[in-house]
Amino acid sequence: MAIEVKCRAKVNLFLRVLGRRQDGYHEVETIYHSIELHDILRLKVQKSDITLVCDHPLVPTDETNLASKAARRMLEGYRYGVRMMLEKRIPIAAGLGGGSADAAGALVGINKLYRMGLSLQDLEEHASALGADVKFMVRGGCAVGRGRGEDLDFLEPLNGIPVLLVVPDLAVSTKWAYASLKMGLTRPKANLTMLADTLRGGKIGQLKDLLYNDFESVVFERYPIVAQIRHKLLESGACASLMSGSGPVVFGVFLEEGDARRASKELASHGNRVIETAFATKGVTA
């Protein structure tokens, strides 16, 4: 028996780091939103062991991979194993949560493959132990995240709204990004509640001045190309644009599909890697 799972990426519409917690994690306020861009995870029952193969050379396939950790957690006490084949479409180390999406896909997929009958709440409990983003990825859609990001308050998602991703040819270390934040300094005012209310009302055209990411200041300073990409997206017709997570991917939100397509061609003509996608209502589907 084998099944196929879609593991969708996310963008952060809002991301503020409030400080470091006693457990070593950071306290954050964020708004996650799923996008249609996804990895494909194919799972097959095998007699023993957990194996993972991937078509991307930079993705680890040993026990350090988050999807492998998820599989080990789910199959603890089982005498059978699982073979997982990962087709990587989400850019890695890009602020889009690809590793977390794959882990969520492993949880959902193994639950279905072995007919375990675990509830959504059970899967989210497993996900929380793997990482804050993983819990959101299981259900997906749109949610306010607090604490480590795993205290979730779900909102009505923006279904099908066009989104462009521009992927710079560079990698940003999440560890470096957190270490570089100047926590004691006065930072720009940003209102999570106002953004959440705007999303609840579906007022896409009002997003421009409400999207916010603490990491933009440090990433833009070190990698000016990322700031230039955000400016280019707005110049090309995006109604709102922001860097996602700790970067370096920048996304643009568009009111019309035609506008997004024209902007995509224009940005690609200047040598940018552009991915056309849209906001999604689900995280993982199997």
Q: Are residues 143 and 188 in the same domain?
A: no
Please give the residue range of the domain that contains residue 22.
2-155
The verdict on residue 149 lying in a domain is: yes
More confident residue, 40 or 80: 40
Mean pLDDT, the chain, rounded, equals 93
Q: What local confidence, expressed as pLDDT, does residue 24 receive?
A: 58
Q: What is the pLDDT of residue 62?
A: 94
What band does 283 get if pLDDT is binned at 50, 70 and 90?
very high
Dihedrals phi, psi of 23, to nearest 5 degrees: -85, 5
Q: Is residue 186's pLDDT more than 60?
A: no
pLDDT of residue 201: 86
* pLDDT of res. 116: 95
Q: Show which of 127, 155, 183 is a domain's final residue.
A: 155
Asked if the structure places residue 181 within a domain, the reply is yes
Same domain, 118 and 27: yes
pLDDT value, residue 21: 65
How long is the chain?
286
Q: Is residue 153 over pLDDT 80?
A: yes
Q: Is residue 286 part of a domain?
A: no
Q: Are residues 136 and 237 in the same domain?
A: no
CATH classification of the domain holding 167 = 3.30.70.890
Look at residues 109, 126, 155 and tell me which one is the last residue of a structural domain.
155
Same domain membership, residue 119 and residue 10: yes
Is residue 65 situated within a structural domain? yes
pLDDT, tens digit (0-9, with 9 covering 90-100), for 93-143: 899 999 999 999 999 999 999 999 999 999 999 999 998 899 999 999 999
Burial of 57 (0-12, 13-18, 19+ CB in 10 A): exposed
pLDDT in tens, 79-99: 889 999 999 999 998 999 999
**Do residues 52 and 139 share a domain?**
yes
Give the per-residue pLDDT at 150.
83
**What pLDDT is stored for residue 74 in this prediction?**
96
Has residue 285 been placed in a domain?
Answer: no
Question: Do 190 and 102 share a structural domain?
Answer: no
Residue 22 pLDDT level (bands cut at 50, 70, 90): low
Selected catalytic residue, list 133, 135, 214, 232: 133
Question: Active-site residue among 6, 10, 69, 232?
Answer: 10
Helices (H) then strands (E): counts for the chain: 9, 12
**DSSP β-ladder status, 162-167 and 212-213:** unpaired
Say how far apart CA 114 and CA 158 lie, in whole Å: 33
Q: Which of 97, 132, 155 is the last residue of a domain?
A: 155
- pLDDT reported for residue 63: 93
Same domain, 178 and 274: yes
Same domain for 174 and 107 = no
Same domain flag for 98 and 171: no
Q: Is residue 147, in this structure, part of any structural domain at all?
A: yes
The reply to whether 189 and 149 lie within a common domain is no
Q: What is the CA radius of gyration of the chain?
A: 19
Q: Tell me what the mean pLDDT of segment 207-222 comes to.
A: 94
At residue 171 the predicted structure's pLDDT band, cuts being 50, 70 and 90, is confident
Least confident segment among 11-20, 35-44, 111-120, 243-252: 11-20
Residue 72 lies in a domain: yes
Q: Does 215 reside within a domain? A: yes
The answer to whether 10 is a known catalytic residue is: yes
How confident is the model at residue 23, as a pLDDT? 64
Taking CA atoms, 226 is separated from 17, 165, 168, 172, in Å, by 20, 12, 7, 11
Question: Are 94 and 127 within one domain?
Answer: yes
Structural domain count of the chain = 2
User: Domain check: are 112 and 215 in the same one?
Assistant: no
The whole-angstrom separation of Cα 243 and Cα 166 is 10
CATH classification of the domain holding 128: 3.30.230.10
